[in-house]
């Protein structure tokens, strides 16, 4: 409401041709995005596995009532989860804005692609998520190369439908267990 709905650019330098990598061109900001995303992913994996707050987040996600019984404050853990998730989303938004400029709806497609990659990889599997994201991105870009870029979204949703029909638990194939006391 304050800045309007037109496209805003946060780039300060001139636009230049990217670096050639196996016949494709990749810009400096795209290289930075890949490195930052890999670093944040690994940091999140180690945080969730080895940090006390990360272990508490996993405990509350698994069974909030039992975690309250053993002394974990689930409300505080949920606040930590929202804070960490918001910080990761902010970093992703900033990196996308540096690459493709800012619009009011710039994150909606990325959100949908993230949900599709999560479903393909399997809920609760970090490495399945990576595999789902790589499969989705590869299929979309091959479709853009061979049949046209207007079909990228359609390919994403066709893959989603195929996985929901054929392998609804994703790559991981694990059913989520809920144990009650």
Q: What token pair was written down for 27?
A: 């810009």
pLDDT of residue 82: 95
Residue 181 has pLDDT above 70, yes or no: no
138 within some domain: yes
* Domain shared by 91 and 118, yes or no: no
From 26, 29, 36, select the one nearest 11 (Cα to Cα): 29
DSSP per position, 113-165: HHHHHHHHH-TT-HHHHHHHHHHHHHHHHHHHHHT-GGGHHHHHHHHHHHHHH
Question: CB under 8 Å to 65, separation ≥6 — which residues?
Answer: 181
Across 17-37, average pLDDT: 85
* Domain shared by 30 and 83, yes or no: yes
CA distance 133 to 121: 8
Q: What's the predicted TM-score (pTM) here?
A: 0.72
Residue 116 structural domain: 107-174
Half-sphere exposure of 111 (CA within 13 A, CB side): 8
pLDDT of residue 88: 93
Could you read off the pLDDT of 137-180 as tens digits, one per residue?
999 989 998 998 888 889 999 999 998 888 888 877 666 566 55
7 within some domain: no
Structural domain count, the chain: 2
* Domain shared by 24 and 95, yes or no: yes
Across 3-30, average pLDDT: 78
pLDDT of residue 176: 57
112 within some domain: yes
* Domain shared by 73 and 146, yes or no: no
CA distance 159 to 178: 29
Could you read off the pLDDT of 55-107 as tens digits, one per residue?
999 899 888 888 888 899 999 999 999 999 999 999 998 888 888 888 877 87
Half-sphere exposure of 115 (CA within 13 A, CB side): 8
Could you tell me if 60 and 78 are in contact, meaning their C-beta atoms sit under 8 angstroms apart? yes
**Which residue, of 58, 84, 103, is where some domain finishes?**
103
Lowest mean pLDDT among 37-41, 105-109, 111-115: 105-109
> Could you tell me which residues are beta bridge partners of residue 24?
21
Give the pLDDT band (50/70/90) at residue 43.
Answer: very high
């Amino acid at each position: 409401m304050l800045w309007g709905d037109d496209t805003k650019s946060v780039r300060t330098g001139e636009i230049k041709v990217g670096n050639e990598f196996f016949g494709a061109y990749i810009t400096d900001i795209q290289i930075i995005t890949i490195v930052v995303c890999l670093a944040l992913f690994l940091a999140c994996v180690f945080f969730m596995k080895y940090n006390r707050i990360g272990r508490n987040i996993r405990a509350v996600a698994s069974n909030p009532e039992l975690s309250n019984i053993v002394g974990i404050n689930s409300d505080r853990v949920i606040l930590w989860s929202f804070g960490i998730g918001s910080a990761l989303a902010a970093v992703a938004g900033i990196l996308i804005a540096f690459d493709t400029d800012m619009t009011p709806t710039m994150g909606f497609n990325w959100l949908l692609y993230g949900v599709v990659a999560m479903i393909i990889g399997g809920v609760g599997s970090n490495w399945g998520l990576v595999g789902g994201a790589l499969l989705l991105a590869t299929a979309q870009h091959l479709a853009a190369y061979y049949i046209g870029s207007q079909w990228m979204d359609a390919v994403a949703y066709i893959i989603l439908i195929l996985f929901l029909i054929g392998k609804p638990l994703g790559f991981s194939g694990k059913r989520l267990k809920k144990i009650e006391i």
